[in-house]
């Protein structure tokens, strides 16, 4: 799930409620509608009844990768892991981290709906309104990109690594300013989308980055990927801080002395429930409307992921390799971002309705899918509103 912090809410039926007092009614099956603004040619990218994947398979260099990732959309349980050629099954694996299967479940599965709703180079991480909610979503995202560029000291001719680059919005922005960007993702659909726009993106696990992988960089950005680096199993085993420290050490290894890292991440907030209660919600669904219930929905949207405990844990784990330059909460901005996403994704069009029909087999066979994407509830927004979650923009500088 690299590159994006939240999952498409209400995938099958739009967002209906943010705080139900009883269990929500059964999911509404996809309906039809008339083509809307999101169906313009520049946004559709060859969508239609046959979908995006078949179009992408006309590009031979991506054919094998896309076939592997698209198996999830067709309802298959077993798929090819392109990174190491191993066969794997979601039912048989024990996750120690959110791996490529988890990333493809969330991001490649929802890729088409997202890009039809937001556009080809849209950004699926929290925008930067700075409290000015009169801004459009696009304006707030551009403000964030400009802020990241400024904080990293990026100038023409410099080189930036984007760990968890999503659909390439930041890479496209810095390219327009003369910066050479390299992106990493674990989503085959995101890889293909970036390639169509000529972005230098690789199917590669950012947790394994070294200078030998892609060389050195002047700066590193990571927006939304840090949330997926630790799993519930890591937390149970007492490995969470070791996982984070190792990641910071690897990132520092590709930077020069004084090089900067921009990190944007969700964390557990000041009202987070006890860890054991949250872990129990992974196995048994708590009462509807409770804090644990909303967290359980998120866990099914983000399989294999466990968040940091506040910004303090992030800063503490970075300290051996980096000093903190600045930290700002973006929680309120994220709530507005989610509201804008919900409105656009929930807007029905004929193309999106046809696309959602392709997800019916998974809706019928997977209870977790129904909970994660068809509950009619914007669990992420509620968790931010209740301060179960917080969101931070952190700037670090590599120690000498």
Is the pLDDT assigned to residue 81 strictly greater than 70?
no
Q: What is the pLDDT of residue 395?
A: 98
Give pTM, 2 decimals: 0.75
Q: What is the pLDDT of residues 21-66, one digit of tens each?
A: 333 333 332 232 333 333 332 222 222 222 333 333 333 333 333 3
Measured CA to CA, the distance from residue 244 to residue 266 in angstroms comes to 14
Q: Which region among 109-113, 223-227, 291-295, 307-311 has the lowest average model confidence (pLDDT)?
A: 109-113
Per mean pLDDT, which range of 82-91, 143-152, 170-179 is the poorest?
82-91
- Mean pLDDT along residues 185-198: 91
Token pair belonging to 1:
């799930």
Q: Which residue has the higher pLDDT, 101 or 332?
A: 332
Instruction: State pLDDT tens for residues 236-260.
Output: 999 999 999 999 999 999 999 999 9
- Closest by CA position to 84, among listed 97, 99, 71: 99
DSSP 24-90: PPPPPPP------GGGSHHHHTT-STT-HHHHHTTSHHHHHHHHHHHTTTTT-SEEE-TTT--EEET
First-to-final CA distance of the chain: 32
Digit-coded pLDDT (tens) for 376-398: 678 999 999 999 999 999 999 99
Q: Where are the domains of the chain?
A: 1-14+35-400
For domain 1-14+35-400, the CATH class is alpha beta
Q: What is the pLDDT of residue 400?
A: 87
- Weakest mean pLDDT among 59-73, 171-185, 247-261, 357-371: 59-73
Closest CA to 160 of 244, 247, 229, 262: 262
Q: Which is nearest to 324 in space by CA: 255, 391, 394?
A: 394
Mean pLDDT of the chain: 77
């Amino acid at each position: 799930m690299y590159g994006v912090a939240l999952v498409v809410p209400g995938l099958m039926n739009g967002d209906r409620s943010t705080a139900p007092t009883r269990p929500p009614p059964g999911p509404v099956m996809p309906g039809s509608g008339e083509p809307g603004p999101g169906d313009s040619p520049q946004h559709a990218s060859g969508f239609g009844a046959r979908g995006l994947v078949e179009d992408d398979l006309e590009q031979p260099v991506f054919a094998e990768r896309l076939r592997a990732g698209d198996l999830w959309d067709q309802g298959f349980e077993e798929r090819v892991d392109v990174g190491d050629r191993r066969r794997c099954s979601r039912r048989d694996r024990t996750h120690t981290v959110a791996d490529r299967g988890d990333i493809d479940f969330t991001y490649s599965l929802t890729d088409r709906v997202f890009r039809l709703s937001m556009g080809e180079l849209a950004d699926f991480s929290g925008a930067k309104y700075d409290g000015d909610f009169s801004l459009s979503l696009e304006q707030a995202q551009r403000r964030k990109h400009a802020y990241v560029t400024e904080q990293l000291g990026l100038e023409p001719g410099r080189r930036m690594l984007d760990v968890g680059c999503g659909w390439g919005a930041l890479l496209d922005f810095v390219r327009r300013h003369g910066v050479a960007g390299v992106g990493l993702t674990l989503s085959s659909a995101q890889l293909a989308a970036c390639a169509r726009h000529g972005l230098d993106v690789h199917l590669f696990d950012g947790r394994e980055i070294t200078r030998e992988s892609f060389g050195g960089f002047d700066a590193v950005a990571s927006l939304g990927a840090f949330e997926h680096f630790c799993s519930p199993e890591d937390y149970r085993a007492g490995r969470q801080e070791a996982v984070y420290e190792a990641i910071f050490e690897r990132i520092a290894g590709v930077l020069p002395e004084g090089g900067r890292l921009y990190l944007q991440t969700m964390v557990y907030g000041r009202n987070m429930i006890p860890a054991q209660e949250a872990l129990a919600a992974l196995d048994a669904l708590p009462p509807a409307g409770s804090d644990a219930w909303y967290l359980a929905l998120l866990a099914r949207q983000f399989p294999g992921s466990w968040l940091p405990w506040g910004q303090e844990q992030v800063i503490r784990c970075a300290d051996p390799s980096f000093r903190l330059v600045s930290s700002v909460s973006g929680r309120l901005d994220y709530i507005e971002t989610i509201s804008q996403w919900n409105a656009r994704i929930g807007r029905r069009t004929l193309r999106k309705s046809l696309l959602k029909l392709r997800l019916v087999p998974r809706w019928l066979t997977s209870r977790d899918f129904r909970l994660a994407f068809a509950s009619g509830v914007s669990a992420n927004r509620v968790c931010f509103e209740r301060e179960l979650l917080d969101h931070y923009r952190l700037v670090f500088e590599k120690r000498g």
